[in-house]
Chains A and B, each alone.
Chain A
Amino acid sequence: MSSASDRAAAPVVHVRGLATGAGGKILLRDATFDLHRGEVLGVVGASGAGKSVLLRTIVGLTPAATGTIEIFGEELGRRGQADLRRFGTRWGVLFQDGALFSSLTVAENIMVPLREQLHLSPALMHDIAALKIALVGLPPDTAEKMPAALSGGMRKRAGLARALALDPKLLFLDEPTAGLDPIAASEFDGLVRDLKESLGLTVFMVTHDLDSLMAICDRIAVIVDQRLIIGTLAELVHNPNSWIQAYFCGPRGRAAQITEAANG
């Protein structure tokens, strides 16, 4: 069992010297970080700083300019479809607007990964879909609705349900709480925290939600001036960079810290 324990100790996501960008423009240089099992990393940065591009690069949708990315100890190079299929069972990705398949109902959307990756009876797939719909806090009748009939917040939660369908060990979330009301957002925080504690879920989360950052993120990565600065909240608050100061010690940042201190 030594190999298994070695694997448990190895980082889930291992990024070294990564440079990436969009449209021929480099947005991020020399990003280096590890994400360990059961860790929640929040990624923040100004609009257009490259948060989503970083996420897309790590899951292999956008090619990296330089650098290496290892996920579950395997390098993400030029992977074939078979590799992607294998990774598809081990991670879940939530896109900014949910990216639900518009011609399928919500339940069918959640059943897509189940159907493609596993051999389950239709009845069991329906039950699992219903479970995931309930877990993300959607009412049961959402299952039969088409994505076009849902609000933005509901689409996002349905997207999360699809990302969770195969119980992945690693979750990539692009602004999961944007567009949710504060009650739904804190329920989301609770769900991620409970899944993390029970299943050792690892989360890479792009977010602007200061409450989420303080409530569930173990570490925070800030993209500023094309660099990635990583640290715990306590460390970042003392970072002299003016953008980071404005972000965490501005009026909203301070309010969220006060709330979190009162709760925690």
Chain B
Amino acid sequence: MAQSIEQTRDGDALVLRPHGRWVVADAQALDDRLAEVKAGAARRVRIDLAGVEAMDTTGAWLLFRLKRGLEAGGASVSVDHIGADLAPLFAQIEKRPSGPVKVPRRGFGPFVLLEHIGYRTVELLRSARALVGFFGEIAITFARIAARPQRLRFTPMVAQMQRAGVSALGIVGLLSFLVGIVMTYIGAQQLKPYGAEIFTVNLLAVGTLRELGGLMSAIIIAGRSGSAFTAEIGAMMVNEEVDAMRTLGLDPIEVLVVPRILGLILTLPLLTFWADFTGLAGGALMCRTSLDIPLTTFLVQLHSAVSLWSVFLGIIKAPFFAVCIALIGCNEGLLVSRSAESVGRHTTQSVVQAIFLVIVLDALFSILFNELGI
């Protein structure tokens, strides 16, 4: 719809005759035309709306703005042929003058980058401090529960074990199985030229039992359950459910966090054992099909390569990983503020931090075991 404003002079008065539709869909064209209107020397301005086909709230406001602007310039303004039914709308607009809207600018440049780095550093330090504080809070709660074991919420804990453990058996088993196959394949390739392919079994056994079984299951669970903890608790924060819990005299740490931590502490060692088993099974299958090492030979070699102690050293790390994952997952969940974006940000944080800490912890364990000579 073509917008036009006819400007004529009538003595010392300026007459404006707008045509077209004064509605929000045509607001841009209208705004551009209105910018061209200048009262100049005219002391009186008459706005004749006879040519206006339709007007809505935005149109009415633009008219109001035009009138106010001309009046501020010292002219007296009259409006003709305004529909009688529009009077209540004008009254509404005049009653509530709108203020300017400030929109935060998202700039670029070296200073913004610097500001961003500083902001992120402070944020990181804050979240580290919050995590330490949270760890202390959990420790106190655990002590309280140890004094009065009937306060332990057993059913939610078992439900968490089901969701974090039993439901993860498939994916943990499959991935470890595949990693077992890959390790055997790579090991055999390297050892074959020396006629030492039987030692592939040693490589597989030590690698899987001491490191990969535990690490694989911890990383999968960090991605699978750590993120779920954050998202669940975070959505409850958005919905004020955690606040509601507090007002009902329930301690969210006791109700939400402890069952998740305990559940994961009990589950992850079992999952690690399962990952060890499937990893070795994958290796055994590979030995049999492509290295012509039958299962009995594989088992004999396995027995001579590792002892039960290796299995134990792999699994003993799992509860520590579990505490890491569950602690970070729950902590990030409780840090969620009331927006959807915040849930996403904290879930990402939770997974990244948990995987990072799991790997750091694993490295520390390697150093410790090495120093102890085991």
From B85, B86, B92, B101, give the contact of A135 (CB < 8 A).
B92
Residue A228 is within 8 A (CB to CB) of chain B in the complex: no
Chain-B contact segment, one of A49-57, A58-66, A125-133 = A125-133
Residues of B within 8 A of A121 (CB): 28, 31
Is A194 in contact with B338, judged by CB distance below 8 angstroms?
Answer: no
- The docked-state distance in angstroms from the alpha carbon of A8 to that of B89 is 21
Interface of B is mostly: helix
Is B99 in contact with A130, judged by CB distance below 8 angstroms?
Answer: yes
Of all chain B residues, the one with the shortest Cβ separation from A196 is: B88
Residue A103 is within 8 A (CB to CB) of chain B in the complex: yes
Instruction: Looking at the assembled complex, report how far the CB atom of B135 sits from the nearest CB atom of chain A, in whole angstroms.
Output: 27
A8-36 interface with B by 8 A CB criterion: none
A245-261 interface with B by 8 A CB criterion: none
Chain-A contact segment, one of B55-63, B159-167, B263-271, B364-372 = B55-63
From B61, B100, B341, give the contact of A103 (CB < 8 A).
B341
Using known A-B contacts A103-B339, A147-B339, determine if residue A134 contacts B24 with beta carbons closer than 8 Å: no
Is B28 in contact with A107, judged by CB distance below 8 angstroms?
Answer: no
Is B101 in contact with A143, judged by CB distance below 8 angstroms?
Answer: yes
Residue B13 is within 8 A (CB to CB) of chain A in the complex: no
Residue A227 is within 8 A (CB to CB) of chain B in the complex: no
Instruction: Looking at the assembled complex, report how far the CB atom of B185 sits from the nearest CB atom of chain A, in whole angstroms.
Output: 47
- The docked-state distance in angstroms from the alpha carbon of A10 to that of B87 is 26
A86-131 interface with B by 8 A CB criterion: 89, 101-103, 105, 107-108, 114, 118-122, 124, 126-131
Is B87 in contact with A135, judged by CB distance below 8 angstroms?
Answer: no
Is B28 in contact with A120, judged by CB distance below 8 angstroms?
Answer: yes
Is B341 in contact with A102, judged by CB distance below 8 angstroms?
Answer: yes
- The docked-state distance in angstroms from the alpha carbon of A93 to that of B88 is 23
Residues of B within 8 A of A127 (CB): 61, 65, 98, 101
Is A197 in contact with B88, judged by CB distance below 8 angstroms?
Answer: yes
Residue B23 is within 8 A (CB to CB) of chain A in the complex: yes
Residues of B within 8 A of A199 (CB): 56-57, 89
Using known A-B contacts A131-B93, A140-B99, determine if residue A167 contacts B88 with beta carbons closer than 8 Å: no
Is A144 in contact with B27, judged by CB distance below 8 angstroms?
Answer: no
Residues of A within 8 A of B60 (CB): 198
- The docked-state distance in angstroms from the alpha carbon of A42 to that of B370 is 76
Is A107 in contact with B24, judged by CB distance below 8 angstroms?
Answer: no
Is A144 in contact with B104, judged by CB distance below 8 angstroms?
Answer: yes
Most buried by A among B58, B93, B340: B58
Residue B102 is within 8 A (CB to CB) of chain A in the complex: yes
- The docked-state distance in angstroms from the alpha carbon of A141 to that of B56 is 25
Contact with A along B31-59 (1 / 0, CB 8 A): 10000000000000000000000001110
Chain B residues bordering chain A, tally (CB within 8 A): 36
- The docked-state distance in angstroms from the alpha carbon of A170 to that of B86 is 18
Instruction: Looking at the assembled complex, report how far the CB atom of A152 sits from the nearest CB atom of chain B, in whole angstroms.
Output: 11
Contact with B along A192-228 (1 / 0, CB 8 A): 0111011100000000000000000000000000000
Of all chain B residues, the one with the shortest Cβ separation from A137 is: B96
Of all chain A residues, the one with the shortest Cβ separation from B60 is: A198
Residue A164 is within 8 A (CB to CB) of chain B in the complex: yes
Residues of A within 8 A of B91 (CB): 194
Residue A146 is within 8 A (CB to CB) of chain B in the complex: yes
Residues of B within 8 A of A129 (CB): 101
Residue A166 is within 8 A (CB to CB) of chain B in the complex: yes
Residues of B within 8 A of A114 (CB): 24
Is B100 in contact with A146, judged by CB distance below 8 angstroms?
Answer: no
Residue A191 is within 8 A (CB to CB) of chain B in the complex: yes
Residue A148 is within 8 A (CB to CB) of chain B in the complex: yes
Is B89 in contact with A144, judged by CB distance below 8 angstroms?
Answer: no
Instruction: Looking at the assembled complex, report how far the CB atom of A122 sits from the nearest CB atom of chain B, in whole angstroms.
Output: 8
B271-328 interface with A by 8 A CB criterion: none
Instruction: Looking at the assembled complex, report how far the CB atom of A178 sits from the nearest CB atom of chain B, in whole angstroms.
Output: 17
Residues of B within 8 A of A118 (CB): 24-25, 27-28
- The docked-state distance in angstroms from the alpha carbon of A89 to that of B25 is 9
Is A140 in contact with B100, judged by CB distance below 8 angstroms?
Answer: yes
- The docked-state distance in angstroms from the alpha carbon of A165 to that of B337 is 27
From B89, B98, B238, give the contact of A198 (CB < 8 A).
B89
Using known A-B contacts A124-B31, A166-B24, determine if residue A133 contacts B98 with beta carbons closer than 8 Å: yes
Instruction: Looking at the assembled complex, report how far the CB atom of B292 sits from the nearest CB atom of chain A, in whole angstroms.
Output: 59
Is A197 in contact with B57, judged by CB distance below 8 angstroms?
Answer: no
Using known A-B contacts A103-B341, A194-B89, determine if residue A131 contacts B28 with beta carbons closer than 8 Å: no
Is B103 in contact with A126, judged by CB distance below 8 angstroms?
Answer: yes
Residue B193 is within 8 A (CB to CB) of chain A in the complex: no
Residues of B within 8 A of A133 (CB): 98, 101
Using known A-B contacts A102-B341, A119-B28, A148-B337, determine if residue A130 contacts B92 with beta carbons closer than 8 Å: no
Is B340 in contact with A128, judged by CB distance below 8 angstroms?
Answer: no
Instruction: Looking at the assembled complex, report how far the CB atom of A134 sits from the nearest CB atom of chain B, in whole angstroms.
Output: 4
Is B28 in contact with A148, judged by CB distance below 8 angstroms?
Answer: no
Residues of A within 8 A of B58 (CB): 128, 131, 167
Contact with A along B238-269 (1 / 0, CB 8 A): 10000000000000000000000000000000
Residues of A within 8 A of B61 (CB): 127-128, 131
Instruction: Looking at the assembled complex, report how far the CB atom of A96 sits from the nearest CB atom of chain B, in whole angstroms.
Output: 14
21 contacts between A and B (CB under 8 A): A102-B341, A103-B340, A103-B341, A124-B31, A126-B103, A130-B99, A131-B98, A132-B57, A135-B96, A140-B99, A140-B100, A141-B99, A143-B101, A146-B339, A148-B339, A164-B57, A167-B24, A190-B92, A191-B92, A194-B91, A198-B85
Apart from the given pairs A128-B27, A131-B61, A135-B92, 5 other A-B contacts in the complex at a CB distance below 8 Å: A89-B25, A102-B342, A103-B340, A129-B101, A137-B96
Chain B contact residues, CB within 8 Å of chain A = 23-25, 27-28, 31, 56-58, 60-61, 65, 85-89, 91-93, 96-104, 238, 337-342
Please list the 3 inter-chain residue pairs (A to B) with the smallest Cβ-Cβ separation, ordered nearest first: A140-B99, A198-B89, A148-B338
